[in-house]
Amino acid sequence: MTYSNSWKTLRIKKIFDSPWIELELHDVINPSGKEGIYNVVKFKHLAIGILPVDEAGYTYLVGQWRYPLHQYSWEIPEGGGNLDIDPLESAKRELMEETGLEAKKYEELLKMHTSNSVTNELAIVFLAQELEQKQSMPEETEDITIRKIHIKEALEMVIRGEITDSISVAAILKATILLGYHP
């Protein structure tokens, strides 16, 4: 089946630009044929997630205060990946920074668009296995708590609404099914 774009872009104006994001205002003709506007947030990095799972089915969650939400968040290790660097290399770096873990085995678990109605952000999540604990090296902006729990407990946290980060929710749901830890 072929799908076509029913939107027409008339003009694009850059509203804001930083090292991480760019905000554009698009003047458009929408699918009904009427003129309108569309704001687009363009991310300048990949969103990288890593779900480490050891041989006994334990994973590592990272807890930290999320400034935009004004709340504490439990999530899988995550971070940004430069568009010019192999996403797996960024995943290895983020896993080491946040948890001190190195993995001998990585598998791409999923790709997802985090909020595709307003942004182009692409998330790539890896399953990391055959883990070895080393020293974590968090960035200066990270005040992290690491929690080692069974992946079934992480799934229960998702179900209870205690994990709300979209990348973490998707990764935990998919991994528990693939690894056979679902109820």
pLDDT at 137: 78
Q: Are residues 120 and 59 in the same domain?
A: yes
d(CA 174, CA 182): 9
* Domain containing residue 32: 8-43
Q: How far apart are CA 151 and CA 91, in angstroms?
A: 19
Token pair listed for 62: 């990272």
Q: Which long-range contacts (CB under 8 A, 24 or more apart) does 157-163 make?
A: 157/61, 157/74, 162/74, 163/61, 163/73, 163/74, 163/75
CA-closest candidate to residue 96, choices 43, 65, 133: 133
Residues 54 and 144 placed together within one structural domain of the fold:
yes
pLDDT for residue 171: 98
Task: For residues 73 and 120, state if they share a domain.
Answer: yes
* Residue linked to tokens 């069974």: 150
Pair 64, 34 in one domain: no
**Is 39 in the same domain as 84?**
no
What does the pLDDT read at residue 138?
73
**110 belongs to a structural domain:** yes
Domain co-membership, 88 together with 140: yes
Residues 70 and 148 grouped into a single domain: yes
Question: Which parts of the chain register pLDDT below 70?
Answer: 183
Identify the sign of the CA torsion 182, 149, 121, 178.
negative
CB of 112 closer than 8 Å to CB of 167 = yes
Structure tokens at 162: 């205690």
| CATH code at position 100 | 3.90.79.10
On whether both 71 and 29 belong to a single domain, the answer is no
Question: 42, 120 in Cβ contact below 8 A?
Answer: yes
Q: Within this chain, do residues 12 and 39 fall inside the same structural domain, yes or no?
A: yes
Q: 3-class SS at 34? A: coil
Residue with the two structure tokens 């942004």: 119
List, in order, residues 6 or more apart from 144 with CB less than 8 Å away. 62, 63, 64, 98, 136, 138
Task: Flag whether the pTM goes above 0.85.
Answer: yes
